Structure 1
């Protein structure tokens, strides 16, 4: 089943029980039985005393590798989650923060969260926006048709919350509309196409990137190119790289840098069909908005 987060208005409530906005946070969504718990590793000993840790749920550990640009994540489930997180606190070094989801009414059971774990692993692998620390792919549990529907509905609400807590690794980038302004880069013998999106800057499948990097390329950019090759987002076609799927970048400059193998100003590198730069397009759009006001 393909899970697609519906585009509809919703509200969330973030409660900070300790008064520290960088510490433990409880996230609730309107008309939802679930609750998300976000915490840093540094305050784990204080966070673990919360009653939510004693419930059945699914969790994601998040960290950054020293030689990569994409986040490293580990997805798991626990009955209760606290027992599993205690183990990871002492044995897994990579993670800096974590988020887990349980229900307010303890309605989730072991099979429910096992399905969520499998689905999140599948989504993360397809999205290729992170490095997975999981070594094995668990088998999905046997559930009734009704339970599958309930669990997947719960999971959709989770997926809408993940980006709000800083974790955008589960949604595969796909072209949303042919009416979007398409921009291109044509340089160094490669051609790339992309567009601005609410999630960032999307480079389209089939776009090309140079293989050679300049000596002055930023280490982050070089690491990101390496990560995308490792994930299979970029394929080596011999004299250049090619995007195997649409991929969203945090900014047009990051996208341009990966394509050109050097530091780049995306606002001047990306151009429309009539030769206008992204900067010129944004300036024109800004002037148009001012005129309407």
Structure 2
């Protein structure tokens, strides 16, 4: 995704409303992002950016459970595709599309970007896609592929800053400094994980309770729905009388991670512990006191 180099975003709020039309440019990059809420589309579709070729994301709430659904597409230009989705797709409430200066993108380029974004979203398994089919990757030259990979990396680096985390797939590489490996145990299962800047990552190979307590379903249905979602996506698979994580998976908080693992409500700051038995809360308190 991002190579970790610092960068600057310039966000122009075109109509003075922070939730309205925003034009976002990244330092030392030819591309530009245009973000807008669906309700504003009739007022902004006449802008020249909508007449350019680009790749776009549509986002809106899931029909069931918390979180969002996403659609990924491309247009040459973008406006006719958005016109069609405005008329026919009900789920989306906001959109963002990426364009470049004249002559920098062609049809094959944005088809390549679309295919790569779909592949990465499906690999991350964080947001369900409304795309019915997997787009085919066009044949492009080695030079153009290299250029589009740089363009894609810039897009992926910007999206989390813009509040879109669907493509983030945290992989904890051996030897990397990611903080202490923590363990969560209970209800016959053991999971390991690490608290990272992107969220709490449960490591692949960890186990998860197959059963849920009635109180989880009654009082925290969104956690129960998340367990069902990641089981459906293949992040969890049945392994004997337990579920097993097939990959590293990022949760928004330690408590959400431990609640999914244990199948019950949980305070992740006390249920995740290091090899010495210190809770995450105690570790953080010690870190805070050292400054």
Match of 1:203 in 2: 202
Deviations 1:196-237 (A, max 9, x none): 111010000011111111122101101110110111101112
Q: Normalising to structure 2: TM-score of the pair?
A: 0.95
Task: State the Cα distance separating 1:67 from its structure 2 match.
Answer: 1.4
SS of the aligned residue for 2:98 comes to strand
Of 68, 71, 76, 2:68 maps to 71
| Cα contact 1:70–1:131 (8 A) shared by 2 | no
Q: What is the 5 A alignment of 1:141-152? A: 141-152=138-149
Q: 1:237 aligns with which of 239, 243, 249?
A: 239
- Gapped regions of structure 2 (runs ≥ 5): none
Is the partner of 1:10 in helix, strand or coil?
coil
* Correspondence for 2:249: 247
RMSD: 1.2
- 8 Å Cα contact 1:70-1:129 kept in structure 2: no
Deviations 1:8-64 (Å, cap 9, x if unpaired)?
Answer: 111110000100001111110001110001111121112212211110000011112
Maintained 8 Å contact 1:61/1:95: yes
Please state if 1:153 is matched with 2:150: yes
Preserved CA contact (<8 Å) 1:271 1:277: yes
1:171 deviation in Å?
2.8
Instruction: Tell me the CA shift for residue 250 of structure 1.
Output: 0.4
| Residue 123 (str. 1) matches residue 120 (str. 2) | yes
Matched with 1:46 is: 43
- Structure 1 segment 133-282 matched on structure 2, within 5 A: 133-178=130-175, 179=177, 180-217=179-216, 218-282=220-284
| Number of aligned residue pairs | 286
Classify the secondary structure of the residue corresponding to 1:132: coil
State the 1:109 CA deviation.
Answer: 0.9
Change (3 A) 1:252 1:127: same
Q: SS where residue 229 of structure 1 aligns?
A: helix
Report what 2:4 is aligned to. 7
> 2:64 aligned with 1:62, yes or no?
no
| Alpha-carbon contact 1:193-1:203 (below 8 Å) kept | yes
Q: Structure 1 CA distance, aligned partners of 2:102 and 2:174?
A: 40
Counterpart of 2:287?
285
Secondary structure of the residue aligned to 1:226 is: helix
Gaps of 5+ in 1: none
Contact 1:173–1:247 under 8 Å retained in 2: yes
Worse-matched range after superposition: 197-206 or 65-74 = 65-74
Aligned to 2:121, the other structure's residue is in SS state helix
